[in-house]
Amino acid sequence: MIASAFKRAKTLPLSGKVGLTLVLFWLAVALFGPMLAPYPVGAFVAYDVFEGQSAAHWLGSDYLGRDVLSRLLSGARYTVGLAAAAAMLASATGTALALTAAVGGAKVEEPLSRFMDMLISIPSKIFSLVLVAAFGSSLPLLLLIAAITYVPGNYRIARALAVNLAQMDYVQVARARGEGRFHIAITEILPNMIHPLLADFGLRFVFIVLLLSGLSFLGLGVQPPDADLGSLVRENISGLGEGALAILAPAVAIATLTVGVNLLIDALPGRGKGR
């Protein structure tokens, strides 16, 4: 399996290879980064604030004299972990609802689709701001808010796929055989929409990374002492005037992560047309 994945990766265009490398790199950082951190996350270790690059501090020090590299490694785990979990939750919910709509008949589909159409016409940042104001922003709530915000988008794509597949002959045959709706949805329809759904999952992940780091940047996302990459940009904003590495490094980290995913999805053969 690893060999076939490797073969596949070799056929990607250069931009796809770059994207794949970036994605794998950030996944590895999210998994193992905190173990490799040279200093404890909250420790004041540098002599000065906003130090430049040095052998002791590869990415300099932050506004309190903490090691930027160590904080970045731990922040990446929050960003990647939260966004991946939220994207999975959003995709699973959206797809489950879409399958329900596809096999449930007009009575189920009409109200569900109208409701999702309504939710999709609230701009996602605005929607999440209202949700944050109402619920607050603890880590589980942030995960939930990001997921809720992007369920409608996934639903719309999954429903279009599922409704098409539900018309196919082999699904009609399954229906004539007397298979239950649940069985048809899971074993006949779902396996055939996995590929476009994976591409959509990647897009949701990018949107959610940008949303969550945007919220953290506004001070409405991950709250101290926890910090994701967006919080790192926010807390070091006073270093902007000196062009500190402490502010540039986390911002570049977010961009390489999202651009990497985007390049990878774009290079996949037969990718789904997202937004």
Partner 1 sequence: MAGASSQSGMKAALSLIGKRFASSLLTLLLVSVTIFVIAQLLPGDAAQEALGQSATAEQVAALRHEMGLDRPAYVRYASWLTGMVSGDPGQSMVANMPVAGVIAERLPNSLLLAALTALVAVPVALTIGIGSAMNRGGRIDRALNIATLSMVAVPEFLVATIAVLIFSVKLRWLPSIALASEEMGWGDYLRGVAMPILTLSVVVIAQMARMTRAAVIDQMDRPYVEMAVLKGVAPVQVVLKHIMPNAIAPIVNAMALSLSYLLGGAVIVETIFNYPGLASLMVNAVTSRDMPLLQACAMIFCAAYLLLMLIADVTAILANPRLRAQ
Contact region with partner 1 (CB under 8 A), list: 48-56, 85-93, 128-136, 166-174: 128-136
Residue 65 sits in the site that holds partner 1 (CB under 8 A): no
Q: Is 36 in the site for partner 1 (CB under 8 A)?
A: no
Binding status of residue 254 toward partner 1 by CB under 8 A: yes
Torsion angle, alpha carbons of 195, 199, 204, 205, to 10 = 110
Q: What b/e string do you get for 126-164 counting C-beta neighbours within 10 Å, with b at 16 or more?
A: ebbbebbeeeebebeebbbbbbbbbbbbbbbbbbebbbe
Binding residue for partner 1, selected from 119, 139, 141, 174, defined by CB under 8 A: 119
Q: Tell me the CA distances in angstroms from 160 to 25, 171, 198, 230, one per residue in order.
A: 34, 16, 15, 34
Is 110 a binding residue for partner 1 by CB under 8 A? The answer is no
The pair of structure tokens assigned to 193 is 């929409």
Nearer to partner 1, 74 or 128 (CB): 128
Per CB under 8 A, does 134 bind partner 1? yes
Distance CA 52, CA 185 (A): 56
* Count of chain residues binding partner 1 (CB under 8 A): 44
The answer to whether residues 129 and 219 touch, using CB atoms and an 8 Å cutoff, is no
Alpha helices in 41-193 (DSSP H): 68-104, 106-120, 124-135, 139-166, 169-177, 181-183
Considering only 118, 168, 173, 194, the residue that binds partner 1 (CB under 8 A) is 118
Site string for partner 1, 208-247 (x = CB under 8 A): --x--xx--xxxx---------x--x------xxxx---x
Of 67-75, 95-103, 155-163, 262-270, the window that binds partner 1 (rule: CB under 8 A) is: 262-270
Q: Quick one: three-class SS letters along 206-274?
A: HHHHHHHHHHHHCCCCCCCCCCCHHHHHHHCHHHHHHCCHHHHHHHHHHHHHHHHHHHHHHHCCCCCCC
Asked if residue 263 binds partner 1 (CB under 8 A), the reply is yes
Q: How far is the CB of 11 from partner 1 (least distance, A)?
A: 17
Measured from the CB atom, the residue of 101 and 249 that comes closer to partner 1 is 249
Is 165 or 212 the residue whose CB approaches partner 1 more closely? 212
Q: Binding residues for partner 1, per CB under 8 A?
A: 15, 117-119, 121-126, 129-136, 206, 210, 213-214, 217-220, 230, 233, 240-243, 247-248, 251-252, 254-255, 258-259, 261-263, 266
